[in-house]
């Protein structure tokens, strides 16, 4: 399985800012992100399930003030950080597109799949 480095493990603080990284989603340039929640790293495509806009209101700011939910800055949709499931707002019942991630030896990696691929320069 291909592993692409995102950041050092120490760069992700529980309930803190996420780290953005470039991806290709289908044939479009896009952004993925990783956050740390409940001690684990979670990765998603930075695209609201309601309307395809980026979620963060400032780069890396994905979690609302309590640090318990990912929140779309445009529509106020609320997502569970561990599953990407939308629990409130205009896309209730939808979910964020998960990106496979792993953490080992102090580093966080993401893994391309059939839809989310590395950006080819």
- The predicted model gives 77-102 an average pLDDT of 94
Would you say residue 107 has pLDDT above 90? yes
- The predicted model gives 41-60 an average pLDDT of 94
User: Among 32, 33, 41, which residue's Cα sits nearest to residue 13?
Assistant: 41
- The predicted model gives 42-69 an average pLDDT of 94
- Rounded CA separation 35/65 (Å): 14
Would you say residue 121 has pLDDT above 90? no
- The predicted model gives 85-94 an average pLDDT of 90
- The answer for residues whose C-beta is within 8 angstroms of residue 66's C-beta and 6 or more apart is none
Q: Where are the beta strands (DSSP E) in 58-121?
A: 70-71, 78-79, 86-88, 98-104, 107-111, 116-117
Residue carrying the six token digits 């952004």: 31
pLDDT tens per residue across span 2-28: 999 999 999 999 989 999 999 999 989
In this prediction, residue 120 carries a pLDDT of 78
Domains of the chain (ranges; CATH) run 4-117 (2.102.10.10)
pTM of the full structure: 0.95
In this prediction, residue 50 carries a pLDDT of 87
Assign 90 a pLDDT band (cuts: 50, 70, 90). Answer: confident
In this prediction, residue 1 carries a pLDDT of 67
Residues 21/23/25/30 CA torsion (nearest 10 deg):
60
What backbone torsions phi and psi does residue 102 show, to the nearest 5 degrees?
Answer: -145, 160
């Amino acid at each position: 399985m291909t592993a692409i480095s995102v950041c050092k493990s120490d760069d992700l603080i529980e309930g803190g800012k996420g780290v953005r990284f470039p991806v290709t989603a289908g044939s479009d340039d896009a952004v993925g992100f990783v956050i740390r929640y409940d001690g684990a790293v979670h990765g998603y495509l930075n695209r609201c399930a309601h309307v395809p806009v980026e979620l963060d209101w400032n780069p890396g700011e994905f979690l609302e003030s309590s640090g318990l939910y990912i929140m779309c800055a445009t529509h106020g949709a609320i997502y569970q950080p561990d599953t990407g499931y939308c629990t409130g707002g205009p896309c209730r019942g939808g979910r964020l597109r998960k990106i496979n991630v792993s953490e080992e030896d102090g580093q966080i990696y993401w893994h391309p799949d059939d839809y989310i691929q590395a950006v080819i320069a």
